Amino acid sequence: MRHQILAGKLIVALALMISLASFALAEDMKGEDMKDMNMGREGGHDMSKMSGSMSPDPSNMKEGEMEAMSGGPAMDHDMHMGHGSMKNMSKHMAYTTLRPETAEDETRASSVVTDLQHALAKYQDYQAAQADGFKPFHPELKQKVVHFTKNWYALKAAFTFNPAEPTSLLYQRKPDGGYKLIGAMYTDRKNASEDQLNERVPLSVARWHRHINLCFPARGTDMKTADWTKYGFNGSIATKEECDAAGGRFYPQVFGWMVHVYPWEQNVKLVWAR
């Protein structure tokens, strides 16, 4: 009887956690007009026919996929968008304020890196990562760095921070067709404050980033023929007025906060992407 009661409590707790996770995602996407997004299926466009320099329709993307299509802050590691300019990209990125360095922060950040190194040891083999639920974002796009994302960790990251459970693993393509693990990505919810982000990873060491002021083509547009010098993560359009004039759809912010970490870098300044 005691075992049955315990099992019942565990089931209720799991159901509550799933419900809270679903609520967090709904809150994170509120107001973004992403009614077509479905965590359980691929987008409506045939991504295999798109070149690596194109951005997909945000309405048909799964959690984490927009990040995979953006350059991120560490361009030396991860410049996988082939168009646009650094000037345009800077229009669509917002960063946390870099705080004064302290010995306590350095110790705390070093602890996070150590925990991450231990957690990632078994994922040097990308097939082990896939077996554990990390799925690559459209590897057919031939990006230099591929994000392997675990949706369950993304959901948990909305509530708690575990250095050993990054939302995504960062794999660099190898000439032989395999992947080399070079880093990971942590995430937090869209409305997290800088103080809350600082509790996870010190803002004196790392700068979290988010993707903002994005304009995408009107719904129904052929993504292969859209002018990606204007639209997307590297596009020249960065205001709602410009986007409306171009007949596009404007997103003040896409998904939540993110930070990349490269735990095996010898240069400490390159460990945390700024």
- Nearest Cα to Cα of residue 23 among 152, 155, 192: 155
Q: Output b/e per residue, 25-38; b: 16+ Cβ within 10 A.
A: beebbeebebeebe
The pTM for the full model equals 0.72
pLDDT tens track, the chain, 274 positions: 555 555 454 444 444 444 444 444 444 434 344 333 332 223 333 333 333 334 455 555 544 444 444 433 333 333 333 334 567 778 999 999 999 999 999 999 999 999 999 999 999 999 999 999 999 987 777 788 999 999 999 999 999 999 999 999 999 999 988 899 999 999 999 999 999 999 999 999 999 999 999 999 999 999 889 998 999 988 999 999 999 999 999 999 988 999 999 999 988 889 997 6
Question: CA 107 to CA 102: how far, in whole Å?
Answer: 9
